[in-house]
Amino acid sequence: MKLTYLGHSAFEIKSGKAQILIDPYLVCYPNYDRNHVTDIFVTHGHGDHLGSAMDISRQSGAAINAVFELANYCSSNKARANGFGLGAWIKFPFGRVIFLPAFHSSSSPDGIYTGCPAGLLFEIEGKRVFHAGDTCLNSEMKVLKEVFRPDIAILPIGGTFTMDVEQAAIAAQWIGAPKVIPMHYNTFDAIVADVSKFVEAIKEQGKEPVVMPVGESIEL
């Protein structure tokens, strides 16, 4: 599978015929080809995560997968959407996914409540990828290490709205994934972070920090 960073908290995963988009706020990657997307996942309703999801869904026909209230919001705006709750594996043609707790808030850009925020755990081609969404440090992360054992953790480090560098380093410790990708930093003034400090902290834990420039891909 190929994981590509699209800036902020947006990622693409390609596996077989699947072209999966996560939190498609594409201001950092405006030329992204939206026509072949097969599945969209959105962690919560905030504009920097919902992003272009509804437009891309209407354009490509791909369904938006999200927590129930957010999915209803998307459906009411004429995008295809599937609503889920936290905590069970959900099967897809490419593998399976669990929505997990994130500690944050969730409303649409026009101010409608969109349920609880979520993190996403993907299992694709036998690999587990955890995308934390927007969250603070929380002890649920220890459950990830104990029960779900992700191979790679994608964590917000920008502070103000989420964990900062120091807390994200603790999160990495608690989650235990051998590879860690920072996200949700340096997009706006409010979330400027020193990624080199994060890299240092992850290395000290004996893990591999993977800092991805926008548009870069890695094979997993």
Interface with Ni ion (CB under 5 A): 46, 134
Q: Measured from the CB atom, is 4 or 187 closer to Ni ion?
A: 187
Q: Give the chain's count of helices (H) and strands (E).
A: 6, 14
CA distance 147 to 83: 24
Window 123 to 182, contacts with Mn ion (CB under 5 A)? 134
Minimal distance in Å, beta carbon 107 to Ni ion? 9
Cβ atoms of 64 and 71 closer than 8 Å: yes
Burial of 87 (0-12, 13-18, 19+ CB in 10 A): exposed
Residue 8, contacted partner among Mn ion, Ni ion, none, CB below 5-8 A by kind: none
Q: Which of 12, 48, 123, 164 binds Mn ion (CB under 5 A)?
A: 48
Minimal distance in Å, beta carbon 162 to Mn ion? 7
Window 66 to 105, contacts with Mn ion (CB under 5 A)? none
Q: Measured from the CB atom, is 39 or 48 closer to Mn ion?
A: 48
Q: Measured from the CB atom, is 102 or 124 closer to Mn ion?
A: 102
Token pair belonging to 20: 């999966």
Burial of 139 (0-12, 13-18, 19+ CB in 10 A): exposed
Q: Measured from the CB atom, is 117 or 209 closer to Mn ion?
A: 117
Burial of 57 (0-12, 13-18, 19+ CB in 10 A): buried
Minimal distance in Å, beta carbon 79 to Ni ion? 19
Minimal distance in Å, beta carbon 61 to Mn ion? 27
> Which residues of the shown chain bind Mn ion in the complex (CB under 5 A)?
48, 134
